[in-house]
Chains A and B, each alone.
Chain A
Amino acid sequence: MAVEGNSKLKRIGLQFAFWGVLVILFGTLMVNFINFGQPNQLSAYDDDWDDLSAFRQDINDMGIKTKSLVSSPLLLEELEDPRNVTFVIAGVERDTLSLPQFSGESIITFANEDGYSPSEVDAIVEFVIKGGTVMVFEDYGYANTIAEKFGVKFKRAQLYDTVYVHELDYNYIWTCMQLSPCGMNGTVIDPGTIESHSRWNSSDPLTGRHICAVWADLMALNGTTVSADEAGLCAQHHQNGVIEYNASYQMLLNNITAIDITESSKHSAMITQAIRAVSSSEATIDMNGDGEIWIGSGLNADTPDLWGQFNLSVEVCASVTCSPFESGGRVHFIADGSALINAIYDYEGYNEGKYGPITKQIPANDNRKWALDVIAEALMELDPATGMPSGQPAPTAMVIFDESRHVQSNIATDTYNMLYFVLVYFTGEGLAKLLLFIGLFVLFEGVLLKKKDPDPWRHVFSIIYYGFGDANRYSYYAKSNKIKQVFLSKVRNQNGLTREEFDSMPARELQAMIADPVLVKFVFENRNFTLEQTVAIVKRIKLWGRV
């Protein structure tokens, strides 16, 4: 009973140890990809001051579907009509899982140090080539894997500029969407320095004129007016029954970085790279993040920081003009991950306390106008007959918010996202597909080999059991010495002698007792006998003593 109890305890202990180790391993794995205790932000589905719910609400109000992508941008490959889809990446807050995959050169790679795997980046590139629009808002996160594929790179260090919002603090920078920086007049932007968007302000639709401007031109030509409800995707420009398109954008950014243009890893299909906004020429970047700016004639340990004019917005297009009337799509890079947060995007609501208590008033800005203009350009339906803009979103228009790289507010959501990511990885990535096929094959083989139905019951009658003697003794009993011993025992028994009497008997007397010359010779001669001789002797012994 005690032994049974010990064995049960041992079994329970082993089970506990096994599951304990499994939980620890799984926990260790999960902890690497789940960010406990970090608040979620930049989510289109939360309505804190630092989320994007106002932007999403505006899009929905325009009759455009919005979706979140929680697993992987690999799913962009599945879209049927990428031309009418805009993919919004607002802050890449965490790295991707390092799972094996084929790189561009069909080599298996593991490391993805910045946000997205090669397959995911390829999926985004492919999406843009097919006409999709991507908005990338990033400052210090992991968006560089995408950026580099489009020939740009985020500096990931904070930029300070003289064009900052004085009533707030130096982290809030004014940026104008134009090729030359806007300047300050005291504590406000000098209106004389405000210009227009370099592309959207062009006069020819085929050279990139904004689609709302084209639509406004068209209506002016036809002498038609539109109500605010009919203004559709251009409602942000609706004034007095017409679309008054204005291409100047005074944008408010917060904790920004800079964007470099690097041609080296740019995808060949990305034809146009255009700078859309720059800092002032007196901007500095705190490269080492020590909170101090040390600038010299060269970069070294004493003067590690940068000074000058930096790019704050870059547009990369898969067409020459970036025009929506051309086939390729475009990517808008903004050097601030929080450009569209509720506090800035919906500054009126924020100032009214809609998103929680406020400390300072956020000044009026054109972030909303710019963002909605991007959406309008990307998703406006073109008349199939004339190819002219209709002002309304395409029936299949959709905006997808990338939530896959956002920290989620609870562990369950994060776990779900990670598992969904793994599922998409295994059904979307080439190497993973291969692995999955092999896995399924092994699974079937395993089922085939290992899974057995219970054996049919059958009574087996089985008493076939043999007990053997000692076979080793057989050779011993064929030896002449043993035969001699057996024979002498027979002689002794037959004559009724004790062992002592027999041992003390003279040889002559024994010979007389045996009375067979062959057997006498066998007993008294120590020599080797052939097999035939031994057989003959045994036969003689058997007969010996019979009357």
Chain B
Amino acid sequence: MWTRKASFTFAGGISLILIGMMISNHQMMILGLSFVAFIVVNSWISGHGDVEVQRTLSADNLYKGDDLYVELLVTNRSSRRTQTLEVYDNVPHEMKLRSGLNQMQMNLGPGESARIRYVLRCPLRGHFSIGPVSLRYRNTFNLSVEEMFVDHHSDMIVFPQLRDVEEAFIRSRTPKMYTGATTLRTPGPGTEFYSLREYVPGDPFKNINWKAFARTGDLMINEKCRDAVTDLYVILDSRDISRIGTVLKNPLEVGTVAAASLANFFLQRRDSVSLIIYDEKLSYLPPDTGDKQHFKILSSLAGVAPKGAMPLQAVTNSLAARFSRGSPIFIISSCEGDGTVPAAIRDLVGRGHEVTVLSPSSIDFERLVSRIPRMSYEVLKLERQNRMTSLAGFGSQVIDWMPDMDLSQALLQVRGY
């Protein structure tokens, strides 16, 4: 593609030739021809983009707000010089350049390499991809420029931040509300001794109490207490209405942080955690423990986007049968725009679940971006308080979560916290 300079030179050349013909001025015609010839000759001398690129990331998964170190190695594979080669690494616009530059102009000889290093900050959760690498090469006189790209991508996931909620539970007056690995007073597989009993065929030899056998002459078996874990269900509201607020502060964004933090807290206590996200559809991650479950939950939360308007009762109706009996349920929702919330919570409580509603105050998030008249705001708040009160009236624990409130601080509102 010609540059502006080339276009001007060519148009000027043609004009000079024609005007020279008009006024029979040979010098002018020759000058015009020279311009045109200059363009033609220059079109034979061009750079190229035959380079190899290799990108190295400091991490494939990181948490929101973390820094990512990127290194791009560019190598000229051709036997010609690249001429003026501009290399630009396409970075998602949600990421901020913290240091260095994601582009460089270079003129690489055959086989030569150059490195571009830069640091990105990732202020938004999500699934991102760095790349492709755009190349732009020009000829010596900057008369032509060609663009191409190398289809080299590096995928990465930015998880929601994890907040420390342990403090809230330690400071609570009922610190063992959700107890993690709980020892049940029933025999079964576990670690703690329960009782001795006589050997029956099929018992593993490793459970034989050899001392008791020596003492009594009968084979006796060590029975252990059964270890059990608590199943915790986290239901996250990702409906379209949860986008209200700024991009960094909105009910969905703080909700993902809360869900990730709670999941992290309980998984560390060896509980099983399940994640349910509802927006235009329902996604259900069955309860499980361990790092793998942790990764699954964080990945799911990283990809959550506000959309749809599925009612909560549709979620609870479809999943009620899967909920372990009596297991605690966390509902993270602003409870806005959904008339089925009270009924859904009443059903869950009625089934014996310990329901906690963590409700980001959407009207206060809305206030961050929209000028709400004072009186309307007060009435809206009153209405929200009524809604919270009615939910509490059904037996759930309701947390009214204000935008400027830390998660652990919000959790302290629940009952004795």
Q: Are A and B co-members of a single complex? A: yes
Q: Which residues of B contact A440 (CB under 8 A)?
A: 11, 14-15, 18-19
Which parts of B19-42 form the interface with A (CB within 8 Å)? Answer: 19, 21-22, 24
Q: A457-B136, A538-B378 are in contact. List 14 more A-B contacts (CB 8 A).
A: A433-B22, A447-B7, A447-B11, A457-B86, A457-B134, A459-B93, A461-B95, A463-B123, A464-B247, A465-B247, A469-B244, A478-B373, A478-B375, A490-B385
When chains A and B are docked, how far (Å) is the Cα of A474 from the Cα of B4?
53
Q: Which residues of A442-500 have CB atoms within 8 Å of chain B's CB atoms?
A: 443-444, 447, 451-454, 457, 459-469, 471, 473-475, 477-478, 482-483, 486-487, 489-490, 493-494, 496
Given known contacts A451-B4, A454-B136, A467-B243, A478 and B379 CB-to-CB distance under 8 angstroms: yes
The verdict on A202 contacting chain B, using a C-beta distance below 8 Å, is: no
Whether B97 is near chain A, meaning CB under 8 Å from some CB there, is: yes
Q: Are A443 and B376 in contact (CB under 8 A)?
A: no
Q: Using A444-B11, A463-B93 as known contacts, say yes or no to A457 and B103 having CB atoms under 8 A apart.
A: yes
* Chain A residue at minimum C-beta to C-beta distance from B19: A440
In the complex, which residues of chain A have a beta carbon less than 8 angstroms from the beta carbon of B243?
467
Contact between chains at A477 and B369 (CB < 8 Å): no
Q: Which of A78, A452, A541 lies in contact with B382, CB distance below 8 A? A: A541
- A489→B91 contact, CB < 8 A: no
Of the listed residues B97, B123, B378, the one surrounded by the most CB atoms of chain A closer than 10 A to its CB is B378
Q: Please, which residues of chain B bring their CB within 8 A of the CB of A168? A: none
Q: Which of chain A's residues has its CB closest to B378's CB?
A: A538
- Distance to closest chain B CB from A208 (angstroms): 34
> Using a CB–CB distance below 8 Å, which chain A residues touch chain B?
78, 423, 426-428, 433, 436, 440, 443-444, 447, 451-454, 457, 459-469, 471, 473-475, 477-478, 482-483, 486-487, 489-490, 493-494, 496, 534-535, 538-539, 541-542
Q: Are B145 and A454 in contact (CB under 8 A)?
A: yes
B8 at the interface (CB under 8 A from A): yes
Contact B379 A483 (CB under 8 A): yes
Pick from A433, A451, A461, A466: contact of B369, CB under 8 Å: A466
B370 touching A489, Cβ below 8 Å: no
- Within the assembled complex, what's the spacing in Å between the Cα atoms of A453 and B142? 10
Most buried by B among A452, A466, A469, A542: A469
Please name the residue on chain B nearest to A496 by beta carbon: B393
Residues of B within 8 Å of A428, CB to CB, are: 22
In Å, the complex CA distance between A457 and B88 comes to: 7
Establish whether residues A436 and B18, one from each chain, have CB atoms under 8 Å apart when the complex forms: yes
| Residues of chain A contacted by B380 (CB below 8 angstroms) | 477
Smallest CB separation, B396 vs chain A (Å): 14
Question: 20 A-B Cβ contacts within 8 A?
Answer: A78-B24, A428-B22, A440-B14, A443-B14, A444-B11, A444-B15, A447-B7, A453-B4, A457-B88, A457-B103, A459-B91, A462-B94, A466-B246, A467-B243, A483-B379, A486-B379, A489-B386, A490-B389, A538-B378, A541-B382
Is B286 on the interface with A (CB-CB < 8 A)?
Answer: no
Asked whether A454 and B15 contact (CB < 8 A) given A474-B376, A489-B383, the answer is: no
Q: With both chains docked as a complex, state the minimum distance between the C-beta of B283 and any C-beta of chain A, in angstroms.
A: 21
Give the residues in chain B near A452, CB-CB below 8 Å: 4
Nearest opposing residue in chain B for A462, CB measure: B93
* B245 close to chain A: CB less than 8 A: yes
Residues in chain B near residue A541, CB distance under 8 A: 382
Chain B residues with CB below 8 A from A444, complex form: 8, 11, 15
Contact A493-B393, Cβ < 8 Å, known A436-B22, A482-B379: yes
* B124–A542 CB distance below 8 A: no
Whether B375 and A538, one on each chain, are in contact in the complex, defined by CB atoms closer than 8 angstroms, is yes
Q: What's the least CB distance linking B282 to chain A, in Å?
A: 22
Assess the A486–B382 pair: CB atoms within 8 A: yes
A443 touches B11 (CB 8 A): yes
CB distance from A99 to the nearest CB of B (A): 16
Closest 5 CB pairs of A and B: A467-B243, A427-B21, A469-B366, A457-B88, A477-B376
Residues B373 and A453 in contact, CB atoms below 8 Å apart:
no
Question: Which residues of chain B in 203-225 are interfacial with respect to chain A, using CB atoms and an 8 Å cutoff?
Answer: none
| Contact indicator A478/B376 (Cβ below 8 Å) | yes
CA distance A440 to B16 in the complex (A): 10
Q: Which residue of B lies closest to A465 (CB)?
A: B247
Q: Note all chain B residues with C-beta closer than 8 A to A459.
A: 91, 93, 97, 102-103
Given A464-B247, A482-B379: A490 touches B386 (CB 8 Å cut-off) = yes
A464, B372: Cα distance in complex, Å: 20
Which of A453, A460, A468, A487 contacts B93, CB < 8 Å? A460
Determine if B96 is an interface residue (Cβ-Cβ < 8 Å).
yes
Q: Residue-by-residue, is B108-151 near A (CB-CB < 8 Å gives 1, otherwise 0)? A: 00000000000000011000000000101000000001010000
In contact, B370 and A542 (Cβ under 8 angstroms) = no
Known: A453-B3, A490-B382. A461 touches B96 (CB 8 A): yes
Output the nearest chain B residue to A464 by Cβ-Cβ distance: B247
The answer, among B4, B247, B369, B389, for a CB contact under 8 Å with A463, is B247
Q: Smallest CB-CB separation from A531: which chain B residue?
A: B375
Minimum distance in angstroms from A537 CB to a CB of chain B: 10
Whether the Cβ atoms of B8 and A447 lie closer than 8 Å is yes
Chain A residues closer than 8 Å to B86, beta-carbon distance: 457
- CA distance in complex: A541, B382 (Å): 9
* Residue of B whose beta carbon sits closest to that of A535: B375
Q: Does B314 contact A (CB under 8 A)?
A: no
* Residue numbers in B under 8 Å from A426 (CB-CB): 18
Judged by a CB distance under 8 angstroms, whether B46 is at the interface is: no
Interface membership of B248, Cβ < 8 A:
yes
By a CB distance below 8 angstroms, the chain B residues around A423 are 21
Taking a contact as CB atoms under 8 Å apart, the answer to whether A463 and B248 are in contact is yes
Q: How far is the CA of A487 from the CA of B389 in the complex (A)?
A: 13
How far is the CB of A247 from the nearest CB of chain B, in Å? 41
Chain B residues positioned under 8 Å from A454 (CB to CB): 1, 136, 145, 147
- Closest A residue to B242 by CB, please name it: A467
B306 at the binding interface (Cβ < 8 Å): yes
B390 touches A (CB below 8 Å) = yes
Q: Are A474 and B373 in contact (CB under 8 A)?
A: yes
Q: Contacts A452-B4, A454-B147, A538-B378 known; A461 to B18 CB distance under 8 Å?
A: no
A542 and B378: CB pair below 8 A? yes
Q: When the two chains form their complex, are residues B372 and A486 in contact, meaning their CB atoms are under 8 A apart? A: no
Contact A468 B375 (CB under 8 A): no
Among the listed A447, A477, A539, which residue makes an inter-chain contact with B4, where contact means beta carbons less than 8 Å apart? Answer: A447
- The CA-CA distance from A496 to B11 in the complex, in Å, is 85
| A493/B390 contact (C-beta < 8 A), A454-B147, A461-B95, A468-B244 known | yes
Known contacts A447-B4, A467-B243, A478-B376; decide if A461 and B145 are in contact (CB<8 Å). Answer: no
- B397 CB within 8 Å of chain A: no
Q: Which residue of A lies closest to B97 (CB)?
A: A459
Question: Is the C-beta of B293 less than 8 angstroms from some C-beta in chain A?
Answer: no
CA distance A489 to B342 in the complex (A): 14
